[in-house]
Amino acid sequence: MAMAEKYPIGVQNFMSLRENGYTYVDKTEYVEKLITKGKYYFLSRPRRFGKSLLLSTIEAYYQGRRDLFEGLAISRGDHDWQPHPVLHIALNAWDYDSPESLLQKFSYDFERWEKLYGSERHTAPHSERFRYIIEQAYALTGQKVVILIDEYDKPLLDTAGNKPLQDTYRAQLKSVYGNLKNCDQYIEFAMLTGVSRFGKLSIFSDLNNLQDISLSDEYSAICGMTIEEIHDNFDAGVRQLAVRNEMSADEAYAQLKKNYDGYHFSPTSPDMYNPFSLLSALSSGYIGAYWFSTGTPSFLVKMIRDMQIDLRDLEHIEEKLNNLMDASFDLSNAIPLMYQSGYLTIRSYDRRFGTVQLDYPNEEVEQGFLDMLMKIYTQSRAGRSEFDVRRFVLDVEAGRVDDFMTRLQALFSGYQYDQIDLGNLELHYRNVIYLVMKLMGFYTHAEMRTAAGRIDLLVRTPDYLYLFEFKVNKSAQAAMDQINDRDYLLPFHADGRKIVKVGVNFDDTIRSISEWIVESE
């Protein structure tokens, strides 16, 4: 009987992965490129995409652990496997909630290395301590030092909105990271990873020797999995998933692609699968929303709450390619941060103008992101929004518009508006309705252009076509009159489905829907 595959879910240590028999997707060809073609690197990838495992793999190589690489791509190259001192700082497993937190993390790492290389400067400022460790490690071993910094940006992202604490952390990070440039003569290799690249942050302006490979075609598959890698390493697991869910192997592959594929990390990137979600699905035998179950970055939730984003603008966005790696330190631009965090990805590239079109990478991300927004915008408790959407679906499919609108009215009435700018209630109303429709899984187009103007919302079901027009502090009749006067129905007369017009009025004194009118064609 064949042994069951061991899926390395959450395994971030290369040595542990190799010594304990986990299935490993060989990424060492990229490690070989890094160590032979350059010296200083930066890589941005979303969380749970394998950045930590990549750095651990590089660490094992520079420790001279040739035994761990037996049979892998890098083992076929001509390398001396000479051990080097490795200084690996992982900032992800630490809480940053006070001015002392970051320095305490640095001290925790520095004290370990001072036991090896000398502690004569242990009372000096952290930047000087780190420089001394680097110099001593080189002096005592005769080998240049390797510096690996994992999730360099976590202290900054954890304190989004707390400018005084961010300023403190920024200064502390700058002083320590500056040694990557100041100690060049002692450094063999250095790499920083993180979710976001703060282009206007002085940390990066000082580290102008870093090569940013985040949008590189050559390294676009360095993290994540391609379909070829899945076939080569996990075909048996996919077939077991198919049997468990009573589908064919082709259907199982199609479902995995629909839910976890679609990431592109350069203009010519292959389709990349989310490794955490894919492995979780194969291990559990169930295709679910695993990436979102690990949590949503707090900075992103705060940004969405505070910036009053029009959610319709998040579909089919066009952006300059160069802007994707230029997130603002004050989190004022949602698009680069959403791309870097994995909520948007590159769909197409216009080389002539240097622009990319962005969209959700796959269904797991889109559905999870919209459900998260639904909870934010309606204060639904966990699990409730899914239940509400199910009822909406049944009502809309059956043409029960009054029942649907009554549920929608209750959804608004149950929300506390103390965090909403009253001057932007109309945007809030539109966003909630948009979320409900998108979560229902129907074709939805907000403010659809016609020859006569824009339809606020169009919803298609197999039997019905709904046209919604919304007004604030006017009347439902005024909304219906606009539908009729501008002949919004003209493009849909040959559609074949029953057309339902819905005029809706919101009243900001009650902060909910005050009335609606329904007419059918």
Burial class (CB in 10 A: 0-12, 13-18, 19+), 223: buried
pLDDT, average across residues 212-239: 97
Residues 445-465 have pLDDT tens digits of 666 666 667 788 888 888 999
Q: Quick one: 240 and 304 in the same domain?
A: no
In a domain, 412, yes or no: yes
Angle, helices 101-117 vs 163-177, to 10°: value is 20
Residues 376-431 have pLDDT tens digits of 777 654 445 555 678 888 898 899 999 989 988 887 775 655 555 555 677 777 78
In a domain, 125, yes or no: yes
> Which pairing describes strands 40-44 and 211-212: parallel, antiparallel, or unpaired?
parallel
Q: Quick one: 174 and 266 in the same domain?
A: no
pLDDT at 382: 46
User: What 8-state DSSP symbol labels residue 198?
Assistant: B
Report whether pLDDT(442) > 80.
no
Domain ranges, residue 493: 399-520
At 193, the pLDDT band (50, 70, 90 cuts) reads very high
Q: Quick one: 265 and 404 in the same domain?
A: no
Position with higher pLDDT, 164 vs 380: 164
Where a domain ends, among 310, 338, 363?
363
What is the overall mean pLDDT for the chain?
Answer: 88
pLDDT at 368: 87
In a domain, 378, yes or no: no
For the chain, the first-to-last Cα distance in angstroms comes to: 64
In a domain, 241, yes or no: yes
Q: Do the Cβ atoms of 446 and 456 come closer than 8 Å?
A: yes
Q: What DSSP string describes 140-162? A: HHSS-EEEEEESTTHHHHHTTT-
In a domain, 154, yes or no: yes
CATH code of the domain in which 138 resides: 3.40.50
Residues 491-502 have pLDDT tens digits of 888 889 999 999
pLDDT at 3: 53
Residues 265-319 have pLDDT tens digits of 999 999 999 999 999 999 999 999 999 877 776 667 667 767 777 777 777 789 9
In a domain, 219, yes or no: no
CATH code of the domain in which 460 resides: 3.40.1350
At 2, the pLDDT band (50, 70, 90 cuts) reads very low
Split into its structural domains, the chain has a count of 4
In a domain, 357, yes or no: yes
Q: Quick one: 102 and 41 in the same domain?
A: yes
